[in-house]
Structures are given as structure tokens and as C-alpha cells.
């Protein structure tokens, strides 16, 4: 029991707590970067959806011709 208390005391008052705190901070930075990437992906997804909608509009406007189908195949 005394060993466990001493280990806890060392962890909460020694360099281990600083290391653990730094690790938490590093993980928070990583999560923040992932959140930014996720937001960017959402923006890109919206742009793709908008472009696909415009392409469908062109297909309707041009009667669904082969040229428009070729453009869609590029996507």
C-alpha cells in the first residue's frame, strides 16, 4: 500500500506529471489539426457536390449528349 501511495506521489509531484501533461497537450494539438482537416474536407465535399449539380444542369441543357457524359466521366 505504501508503495502505491509513494508511486502516486512521485507521479503527481515529479517529472512524470510534466511528461503526461506534455503528452496530453501533444494529443490536443493533433486533434485540433484533424478537426481543421475535417472542416477542409467538408468544404471540398460541398464544392464537389456543387460542381456535380452544375454538370447535371449542363446535361439537361444539352440534352444529355455524349460530350457532357465524357465530362462527367472525368469526374
* Per-residue model confidence as pLDDT tens for the chain (75 residues): 678 777 777 666 666 777 888 888 899 999 999 999 999 999 999 999 999 998 888 877 777 656 656 666 666
CB 58 within 8 A of CB 74: no
Q: Which residues of 46-73 are buried (b: 16+ CB within 10 A; e: fewer)?
A: eeeeeeeeeeeeebeeeeeeeebeeeee
pLDDT for 64: 60
**Cell numbers representing residue 20 in the block:** 503526461
The DSSP secondary-structure symbol of 1 reads -
pLDDT for 8: 73
The pTM assigned to this predicted structure is 0.51
**Cell numbers representing residue 36 in the block:** 481543421
pLDDT for 75: 61
pLDDT for 66: 61
Amino acid at each position: 500500500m505504501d508503495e502505491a501511495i509513494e508511486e502516486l506521489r512521485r507521479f503527481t509531484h515529479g517529472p512524470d506529471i510534466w511528461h503526461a501533461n506534455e503528452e496530453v497537450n501533444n494529443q490536443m494539438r493533433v486533434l485540433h489539426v484533424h478537426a481543421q482537416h475535417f472542416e477542409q474536407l467538408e468544404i471540398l465535399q460541398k464544392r464537389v457536390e456543387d460542381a456535380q449539380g452544375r454538370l447535371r444542369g449542363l446535361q439537361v441543357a444539352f440534352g444529355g449528349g455524349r460530350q457532357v457524359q465524357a465530362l462527367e466521366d472525368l469526374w
